[in-house]
């Protein structure tokens, strides 16, 4: 069991209060659905697209709900976790989401693999979406996904923003959200229910800790 597994179980069950300090709260926020036509999930910084390799584990193609867990302390609001739900049921076990050639046996006790954030934004998308978006960004004059940038700006509430944006003339979409305290590296974990079935994927933005 890795260090934050009890925390992720509590978050998934809506029982994270014991990990919060006085004055803090953690609320759920829906961010619509994500279309996964290939079932190959890419978690990355959607504003920079430095990383585009999908996780080795796949899910059946389909549309899946996106949920954010927003940590609040007074006027400070941060996306602490972001998740995709694949089936009903609470996760009872987690394992780190890996890319090809990543091996948890090579990590230190408190180490992890995660994706890098350089724009203060994290996100989920399908591998096909990534390939299409990367091709479009090479063609766009300023090399940026302006619709995503605008949606993030329009949704901004002190101190975070969210967006669920479709690519032009396409069903492909990107779910994006502010990444915790901002830039850094953040791990994702697969959650399995009591029957051993995959039920969710959660990215931990390292706001809460044990």
Q: What is the pLDDT of residues 78-101, one digit of tens each?
A: 999 999 999 999 999 999 999 999
Region class of 23: left (phi > 0), else alpha (psi between -120 and 50), else beta:
left
Residues 74 and 23: their CA atoms lie apart, in Å, by 7
Note the pLDDT of residue 142. 83
What pLDDT, on the 0 to 100 scale, is given for residue 1?
A: 46
What pLDDT score was predicted for residue 209? Answer: 81
| Model confidence, pTM | 0.96
Give the residue ranges of the chain where pLDDT is below 70: 1-3, 210
Tell me the C-alpha distance between 141 and 21, whole Å. 47
Radius of gyration for the alpha carbons in the chain, expressed in angstroms and rounded: 16
pLDDT at 109: 84
Beta-carbon count within 10 A of 23 CB: 8
Q: What integer pLDDT is reported at residue 178 of this predicted model?
A: 98
């Amino acid at each position: 069991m890795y260090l934050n597994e009890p925390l992720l179980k509590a978050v998934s069950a809506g029982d994270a209060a014991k990990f919060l300090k006085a004055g803090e709260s953690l609320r759920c926020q829906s961010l619509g659905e994500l279309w996964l036509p290939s079932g190959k999930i890419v978690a990355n910084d959607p504003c920079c697209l430095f990383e585009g390799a999908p996780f080795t584990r796949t899910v059946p193609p389909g549309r899946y709900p996106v949920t954010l867990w927003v940590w609040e302390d007074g006027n400070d609001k941060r996306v602490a976790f972001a998740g995709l739900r694949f089936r009903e049921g609470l996760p009872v076990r987690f394992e780190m989401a890996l890319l090809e050639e990543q091996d948890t046996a090579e990590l230190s006790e408190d180490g992890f693999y995660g994706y890098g954030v350089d724009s203060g934004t994290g996100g989920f998308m399908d591998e096909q979406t990534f390939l299409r978006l990367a091709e479009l960004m090479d063609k766009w004059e300023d090399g940026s996904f302006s619709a995503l940038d605008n949606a993030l700006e329009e949704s901004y509430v002190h101190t975070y923003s969210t967006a669920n944006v479709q690519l032009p003339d396409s069903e492909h979409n990107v779910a994006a959200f502010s990444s915790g305290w901002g830039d850094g590296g953040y791990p994702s974990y697969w959650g399995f229910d009591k029957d051993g079935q995959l039920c969710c994927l959660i990215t931990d933005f390292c706001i809460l800790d044990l």
